[in-house]
Homo-oligomer: A and B are copies of this chain.
Amino acid sequence: MNDIVLHNYFRSSTSHRVRIALEMKGLTYKYVPHHLRHGEHLEPAYLAVNPQGLVPAMIWSDGTLLTQSLAIMEFLDETQPDPPLLPNDPLGRARVRMLAQMIACDIHPVNNLRVLTSLRALFGAGDEDVANWFRHWVNEGFLPLEKLLASSPETGTFCHGGTPGLADICLAAQVTSNTRFDVDLTPYPTIARINAACMSLPAFQKAAPKNQIDAE
């Protein structure tokens, strides 16, 4: 038993990614929930831990604060290499990081709860506007992601070959998030197939939002 602490929210897609990586690595951790919709991440006690007031934030066993899901997952991969989240060759690693970042940099940040909340507050966006916004950016990202995955001989059962990694984690977390806004996966058969392969694995099942202590 180590003493990793993960500041977390069951529905946060970035928290979800880190939970999957921790489960894949077989690492146990203390789950500290912060209810984003109730603003618990902006309370002074949490801002003293993480000035950015976002989740996930991991407190490593030596007390170090680490934030940013991609940085945390790369750290876990460097310190607990088995099973690996990235291939060994630089071009393969670049491909997996590229696929992961097509979601983590181009889809998710624009569809964050705080961005959707700002659209409502600043521009009077209603539920339908917010749902359309969310689906628009998912489709903008999933269309080229599907093309890259479907056209590459490097795509296997998972995004890169026969074992899941960084890109699959981001893909599965995004597909889970999509269900709240009824995103149609029909145009993305490769993404849907890879997501199903991920969700057949215990690590992905255990990390799912609905299985967390703060799930509603």
Contacts and interface: CB of A to CB of B under 8 A. Distances in A.
Interface in A46-60: 50-54, 60
A119 B126 CA distance: 14
A170 B141 CA distance: 22
B102 A67 contact: yes
Contacts of A98: 66-68, 71
A163 interface: no
A118 B115 CA distance: 13
B51 A64 contact: no
User: How many copies of the shown chain assemble into the complex?
Assistant: 2
A122 B79 CA distance: 45
A82 interface: no
Interface in A87-109: 90-91, 93-95, 97-98, 100-102, 104-106, 108-109
A66 to B, nearest CB: 5
Contact of A91 (B75, B141, B144): B75
B122 A133 contact: yes
B53 A71 contact: no
A129 to B, nearest CB: 7
Nearest to A54: B106
A4 interface: no
Contacts of A123: 119, 122-125, 129
A131 interface: no
A30 interface: no
A143 interface: yes
Given A79-B90, A123-B123, 5 more contacts: A51-B144, A54-B106, A70-B105, A105-B108, A123-B125
